[in-house]
Amino acid sequence: MTALTLSATAQSTAQDKVEAAKQKAVTSYEAARKKLDQANHKAFMSDSLIEVGNRQIQDADNLIKDLGEARKLTVKSFAEERKGFNKFIKDEDMSVAKQAAADVKALDKQSADSLKRIDKAIANAKKMKAKGEANVAKGKGSQKANQQAVKAAEEKFDAAAENYEKLTGAVAEPVTTKAAPAGKKEKADKKSKGDDDKVSRSERRKDKKNRHDDDEDEED
């Protein structure tokens, strides 16, 4: 085997190793990206459960309060109306007394039906509150673990993305946090911990490098 042949073989082997390393970097990057996306989604679901649950609790409390006031007014209104009929129940005119008794009986039934509807609405509101409390408990039960999973996944993704960019020369696409529903942007912003998901991995590393250089300057 000539020296030229040996050189070509060695060059081919080196290129194969480079390509294999690139492919491994791509595979690791894609896997880390997928895991971070899944971790973000789970964390978002925990936060959403808590927010939805709290809103259900608040809505239920407001409804229970309003229905309670409506019940008091209903009882008072029927009681006052009943007094007007009671005056005639013992009227000397039997036809008047009989009509007043019938009116009272009808009024009592109407009152009972109205209060029954209100009490049913209150019971439903209490069920909604219980469901909200269950959602909050479920969300809080997984929130901490999911936040830790996001942190671990971010670290692995950053490392994989850095290696991916180094070996392929491509820019790693950032993993965006699952968008929060309308009215929940504040929570989503807090959950992002101040990171801008639109910034590329290379820009984040550049910022990290600049901070490191500044620290060295201060030490000098």
Q: DSSP letter at 92?
A: S
User: Residue 44 pLDDT > 50, yes or no?
Assistant: yes
pLDDT, tens digit (0-9, with 9 covering 90-100), for 182-216: 344 444 444 334 433 433 444 444 454 454 455 55
Distance between CA atoms of 21 and 13, rounded to whole angstroms? Answer: 12
Confidence (pTM): 0.62
Distance between CA atoms of 54 and 56, rounded to whole angstroms? Answer: 5
User: Residue 181 pLDDT > 70, yes or no?
Assistant: no
Q: DSSP letter at 175?
A: P
Residue reference for tokens 């060695």:
10
Predicted confidence band at 11 (pLDDT cuts at 50, 70, 90)? low
Element housing 120 (H / E): helix 94-168
Predicted confidence band at 74 (pLDDT cuts at 50, 70, 90)? very high
165-193 b/e (C-beta count within 10 Å ≥ 16 → b)? bebeeeebebbebbebeeebeebbeebee
Q: Which of 35, 21, 20, 42 is nearest to 158 (CA)?
A: 35
Distance between CA atoms of 77 and 107, rounded to whole angstroms? Answer: 11
Q: What angle do CA 50, 53, 54 make, to 5 degrees?
A: 85
User: Residue 98 pLDDT > 80, yes or no?
Assistant: yes
pLDDT, tens digit (0-9, with 9 covering 90-100), for 114-170: 999 999 999 999 999 999 999 999 999 999 999 999 999 999 999 999 988 888 888
For residue 180, give the 3-state DSSP assignment: coil
For residue 179, give the 3-state DSSP assignment: coil
